[in-house]
Amino acid sequence: MGKPSLNRPATVLLAALAPVSWGTTYAVTTEFLPADRPLFTGMMRALPAGLMLLALARVLPRGVWWGKAAVLGALNIGAFFPLLFLSAYRLPGGMAAVVGSVGPLIVVGLSALLLGQRPTTRSVLTGLVAAFGVSLVVLKAAGALDLLGVLAALAATASMSVGTVLTKRWGRPDGVGPLALTAWQLTAGGLLIAPLALFVEGAPPALDGPAVGGYLYLALANTAVAYWLWFRGIGRLTATQVTFLGPLSPLTAAVVGWAALGQALTPVQLAGMALAFGATVAGQSGVRQPVRPSAGSAGPGRRERAAGPAPVALRR
């Protein structure tokens, strides 16, 4: 799972940059990108970023990791992106973000099943407070709920939650860092979205200067760097700690909307931001760090790395 973190606060802060970056996605999409092209946008986020990181890492999966990389890429990217965009298009206000804010509770439950981490009353209450705080920030009074949109939001949240826990459970092969793991998942996810985008949305749209700049930002900072920091954080923190950083995304979106788009923040929204941010901080404390096995110990992640085949280095 990588080297132990010598400075956990720094690790948490770096991992937190990922959801903060994702919180700018809505503003960039609505202000600079072509309308009604969610699948094309998802592909443009994932595939160029994955190929770029793959060229930098120069490592391919091998053996069972071809399948594992495909599964993780589908869960964290290939299924998550389209479902997230679909829910955002069909649900009123910030309902998609509210449904997504239950992710920490899903991860707490999955961590108990797959990682042997017993859920605590504190983690459950913190997850509920985070979801309530996010709902105060993003919910609007208008609009009826769309069943397909709700199901898509739930499926997106479940997909990312399962992907987060499996990323923690499976670790990485010996000699493979988070950069390569991120490259595998983004490439696999992007390749999954590409034919779907072509079939559903047709040929790519014509792009002007702002759209090109927006896609470059999404691919580089918002995806390549952000997901590398996210998967790096999963390797060094517990899955629960990482997922409790998720509420920073809708909070950032609200701040960007206020600062850049002229959207007002009400006292209720400010109270919700305080609750959600407090829950994010609380989710990082009081959590027992996973025991990192020594070189000869028999932890599940260690057994896999010892038994798994070595990665394949890409030639120049």
DSSP secondary structure letter of residue 152: H
- Which stretches in the chain have pLDDT values below 50? 1-6, 289-316
CA-CA-CA-CA dihedral for 17, 23, 27, 28, to nearest 10: 50
Distance CA 195, CA 290 (A): 39
Alpha carbons within 13 angstroms on the beta-carbon side of residue 316 total 0
- Per residue in 186-198, pLDDT (tens digit) is 999 999 999 999 9
Distance CA 196, CA 199 (A): 5
* pLDDT at res. 147: 82
Helix axes 25-32, 209-219, angle to 10 degrees: 160
Distance CA 34, CA 278 (A): 36
CA angle 217, 167, 80 (to 5 degrees): 50
Q: Beta strand pairing status for 59-60 and 312-313?
A: antiparallel
pTM: 0.83
* pLDDT at res. 93: 57
* pLDDT at res. 297: 36
CB atoms within 10 A of CB 265: 15
* pLDDT at res. 89: 75
- Tokens representing residue 229 in the block: 């920091």
* pLDDT at res. 299: 40
- Tokens representing residue 56 in the block: 């930098």
* pLDDT at res. 309: 38
Alpha carbons within 13 angstroms on the beta-carbon side of residue 25 total 25
Buried/exposed 107-135: b ≥16 CB within 10 Å, e otherwise: bbebbeeebebeeeeebeebbebbbebbb
* pLDDT at res. 301: 43
- Per residue in 80-132, pLDDT (tens digit) is 988 887 887 777 656 777 788 888 889 989 998 888 888 888 889 999 998 89
